[in-house]
Every structure is written in structure tokens, then in C-alpha cells.
Amino acid sequence: MTLATGATVTLDDLRYTVQIRSVAAELVLLPGVNRAEVAIAAGVDVPAAAGARASVELDGGDGTAVVLTGTVDHVERTTSGAVVVVTDAGAALAATRPSETYNGLTGVQVVGKLADLASADTGQVAALTQTAAYVADARRTAAEHVAAIAHRSDAVAAVDAEGRVTVVAWPVGVATAAMRLDREFTSFTTSAHTPAHEFTPVGAGGSGAAQAPDAWVPSTDPLTGADEPDGTRTWSPAPVLRTRSDVDLAARGESSRRGAATARMRATCWLQPARRPGDVVRIDETTDPAQSGPWLLTTVRHELAPGVARTTLAGVAARASDDLLGGLAGALGGLL
């Protein structure tokens, strides 16, 4: 059976379909930038310029999905046609270096303020950390600040298909999509890794609430629930964390990422335009339990060209960190 694939690209009020020679879209989690390169045939009028509204849709044969919504970054014009490069809100965040201090705001509110600075819309934002004061300094981009807040909230930051900045809770075993290994993939590789060195966040306040007056007063004792530093653990100062609850939340975020990186996946499948970073994918009809996941997608690349219609996925384990770190420790112990 042959699937009928296709692409639709809209630049301002002009729509292109059969005029498109190829599309390559690279999607990543924040602070990375989603980007699509659209090659349009020679002789076709492409009046779009930098800043024009743009959207990219792909059809892998099972239905159309929006891959990227944003603006034209630039247009390259050659003898073989035009190449339009489209980016989304991630590029606007990456181009913004804030110099702001936010007092007494939640993580949700800080993410909203940072998005406003970049003129970006927000979607679902579940940044649970609370701050007595958050200094958004210009040493980091707004994208890096949003990703850092997500990290401290045990969450994942991304830009969705509609171009909105989102922060969603770190997945713990609940898949949002399912794929079949025997039907949709042309290659599938998993790998197991030793846990990286543990960096445990240590706060700088002694208050029970971020809004309390003593949240500003530095504590004489380390604000952490972690064990003492040793050869496998380092305390990492995080002055923005002023309460024990925020320290514990940030510690879970660090543990989630550390555990997830112990199991990794890379695969190639038929064009699946609905897949994007932040998806949690379960793999069915596997030959090895280690393949089933679920997997948190961190990078997705869609390619459509003559003779090419594929999606490349990369991801990490989307299970509870205790299961990942404990299970790996048990497996390693069994080898000793």
C-alpha cells in the first residue's frame, strides 16, 4: 500500500501545496528553537519576507497535522527556487534577553511575563514553583529562563503546534500516543546508561511560604532534604528557591531528568507529522520489553521530499525516576 503524502505551507495569505519541492522541520524542547525549511519550485511567486505569518502542515497519509506555526525567519532565493525558513515563538524567546526582577510571582506568572517580553502567546503552563523574587538576568535568553523554571517545577517546556509556549508536568508513565513497532518504524534503537552525577539544589531561605516576610532572610542551615555531599552527589546553590517545598520540587525535577537519561531511544518511522517534542509515546508490538517505553520525545525531525517521507524521533524514558534509578542500580548490582 502506498500512502499519499503532502505538504501545505501558508505565508501570510498565500498557500502553497504542489509548488513545494521539499520540507524539513526540526522540532526540539525549549530552550531550543523549532525550525522548518520549505523549498518552493523556481518560477513560483514567493513575496513573503522576514516577519510574515507562516504555518507548515504535513500529511503522512493518515491525515494532516500542523507542524509549526510562527513567522518567516528569512527567505533564500536561488536559481532553483526559494527556500523559506520558518521559526516559531521559540525563536522570539531565544532572541529576547530580559533584564527584569519579578517579586512574589508564581512560576506560571513569570513564564507569562517572559512570553510577553517576546510577544509570544502561552498555552497550558503548569510551572508550580513559587518565588519570593526571580531575577531574569540578561546572561540568559528568555527561552533559557522558561526552560529553567520548567526544570525547577519538575516540568517540560516546549512550543506547541499552534506556536504557544507551554509548560507541562514531567510525565510519569502515562502515554499520550501509541505507535506500533511492526508497522510504523523502519529502525528503532534503545540504549541504557549509567546515571550522571547528582546535583542537588539547595535553597537560600528558611520560610514556609514564598510570600512570607522571612522568605527574604537567608537561612544559616542548608535548605535541602538531600544527604550530605559525597563522591556521587554535589550540592548546587539555588538562591531563587526560598522555601522547602520549592527545593523539594526542584529536586524532583533534577531527579526526573537524571533518571530519564539512563534510558534513551532513537528511531525512524514513516512520516508522522503529529509527533512533536513533549509527546509521551508507548511502543506496541515490541520484541523486547525495553523498547515499549513510554518515551518522552525530546527531538523530532520531519522530512518530506521526492522519494523521502520520514520522521526521526529521539527521546528519553518517561517513567518515575525512582523506578529508573532504582531499577538500574539493581541491574548493575546483579552484575557485581
Residue 326: per-residue pLDDT: 63
H or E element at residue 91: helix 89-94
More confident residue, 329 or 255: 255
Bridge-based pairing of strands 100-103 and 64-78 is: unpaired
Look up residue 4 and give its three cell numbers. Answer: 499519499
Residue 335: per-residue pLDDT: 39
Mean pLDDT on 235-252: 88
Question: How many angstroms separate the Cα of 242 from the Cα of each of 132, 198, 262?
Answer: 7, 21, 30
pLDDT-based confidence at 239, cuts 50/70/90? confident
- DSSP secondary structure of 172-200: -S--SEEEEHHHHEEEEEEEE-PPPPEEE
The answer, yes or no, to whether residue 45 has pLDDT greater than 50, is: yes
Average pLDDT, the chain: 90
Residue 334: per-residue pLDDT: 45
53: which residues sit within 8 A by CB, 6+ positions away? 10, 11, 12, 71
Peptide bond into 277 cis (omega under 30): no
Residue 180: per-residue pLDDT: 95
pLDDT in tens, 276-298: 999 999 999 998 888 998 999 99
b/e burial code for range 76-87 (CB count within 10 A of at least 16 → b): eeeeebbbbbbb
Query: What backbone phi and psi angles, to 5 degrees, belong to 166?
Result: -130, 150
Judge whether 224 and 200 are in contact, CB under 8 Å. yes
The answer, yes or no, to whether residue 259 has pLDDT greater than 70, is: yes
Residue 243: per-residue pLDDT: 84
pLDDT in tens, 83-125: 999 999 999 999 999 999 998 889 999 999 999 999 999 999 9
pLDDT in tens, 141-199: 999 999 999 999 999 999 999 999 999 999 877 899 999 999 999 999 999 999 999 99
Mean pLDDT on 199-226: 77
DSSP code for 61: S
pLDDT-based confidence at 128, cuts 50/70/90? confident
Tell me how far apart the alpha carbons of residues 190 and 234 are, in angstroms, rounded to a whole number. 29
More confident residue, 139 or 326: 139
